[in-house]
Structure 1
């Protein structure tokens, strides 16, 4: 089995995680304070959401740090799936937060004597959206360059949070023009959007942790690489699974039945070398079977 070391890319990805943590700490403090002072349910809900994002960003950072560890006796494929665990933690935290935010919004929506929040809180919501869009663009670009699934999940969470802040801004505007229900309704919309994002991130992480690999075109491309190698008469089985930012490939190839063990081993080596030369392929395991339909020469 041949493996590559993804540590340099994951080390780069930590920069994005630190940026997320700093951004969310700032926004949490600002929104909870402004939400309390201005009396905005939407801003408060957004602040609670950002507080959970701090925990999620810490989980992403820890996942990236663990993923750098090399393979050992207990983890022969390395620790790259720590990123998937981190993404699942992010999704869980977001899901719990959405329930609490939704509950608070509903209670505020049905409460009598609602008052409109202070108009100046609108600028906090708009400023938050602008900042989160900038962090989203930076982290998405970094995630794709590093091939980090956890950082990409965090980037899409930033985008979701930016839209949530815009929704909070709309609620504040609505309340100040006489629709007092608009602010708590915006808080409820925040909860729905957070829950939707949590489901998307969590289902993707679970799919990867359960060895799911849905890219049929990539499987076909790998199959084509193997069948084009000298000495391979066919591919009996080829499987792939995600390991963080790389793909692990297990392949069983057919070789002419008259080959010696040494010659068959040479074919397996060529298969390994061809697959590991691909940018996204990490671990490779090759098994050789005799092609009983081949001529004996």
Structure 2
């Protein structure tokens, strides 16, 4: 096209303009390809609406007193979620285990491609051994009484 404009129309600036447009188009394509590759290689936090949906399903199970230390990440095409779940202190290990199993089952049904790790805590427990976890535990209720 630039050759036709230059030779037959006499527009001598066509070739450099088309060259710049093509260079910009190639740069944009390279940027998009790089962004997609980086997104696949680097872990990313889930979007807030997806996190809220996940917590809503997790919190539906009776017997849960609170959820805290909720962490999510997307690594390539894989999704991971982990959180601490509080149950009443007086529950037997078997009953607490049954609650965790029910929560995992509900989450697998609603989010089949998410790998879930649940750490069970007695109600009111604060993890002070881990400096990365805040001493002031903030439960995620999302406006609902659990």
Correspondence list, 1:65-214, <5 A: 117=3, 119=4, 174-175=5-6, 176-214=8-46
TM-score, structure 1 length as denominator? 0.37
More strand by percentage: 2
Contact 1:246–1:280 (Cα < 8 Å) also in 2: no
> Partners of 1:256 and 1:284 in 2: how far apart?
22
Matched with 1:253 is: 85
> Partners of 1:208 and 1:259 in 2: how far apart?
42
> Partners of 2:107 and 2:43 in 1: how far apart?
19
Secondary structure of the corresponding residue to residue 277 of structure 1: helix
Q: How many residue pairs were aligned?
A: 124
- The Cα shift of 1:221 comes to 0.9
TM-score, structure 2 length as denominator? 0.69
Matched with 1:288 is: 120
Contact 1:213–1:241 (Cα < 8 Å) also in 2: yes
Q: Deviations over 1:193-222 (max 9, x none)?
A: 322333344235434533212511101111
User: Does residue 267 of structure 1 match 2:99?
Assistant: yes
Structure 2 unaligned regions, length at least 5? 126-146
- The Cα shift of 1:226 comes to 0.9
Matched with 1:226 is: 58
> Partners of 2:37 and 2:45 in 1: how far apart?
11
Structure 1 unaligned regions, length at least 5? 1-39, 41-115, 120-173
Secondary structure of the corresponding residue to residue 286 of structure 1: strand
User: Does residue 238 of structure 1 match 2:70?
Assistant: yes
- The Cα shift of 1:184 comes to 3.2
User: Does residue 217 of structure 1 match 2:44?
Assistant: no
Q: Deviations over 1:58-79 (max 9, x none)?
A: xxxxxxxxxxxxxxxxxxxxxx
Contact 2:46–2:72 (Cα < 8 Å) also in 1: no
More helix by percentage: 1
CA gap of 1:214–1:290, structure 2 versus 1, over 3 A, is same
Contact 1:211–1:242 (Cα < 8 Å) also in 2: yes
> Partners of 2:34 and 2:84 in 1: how far apart?
32
Of 108, 123, 141, which aligns to 1:276? 108
> Partners of 2:29 and 2:118 in 1: how far apart?
38
Secondary structure of the corresponding residue to residue 193 of structure 1: helix
State the superposition RMSD in angstroms.
Answer: 2.5
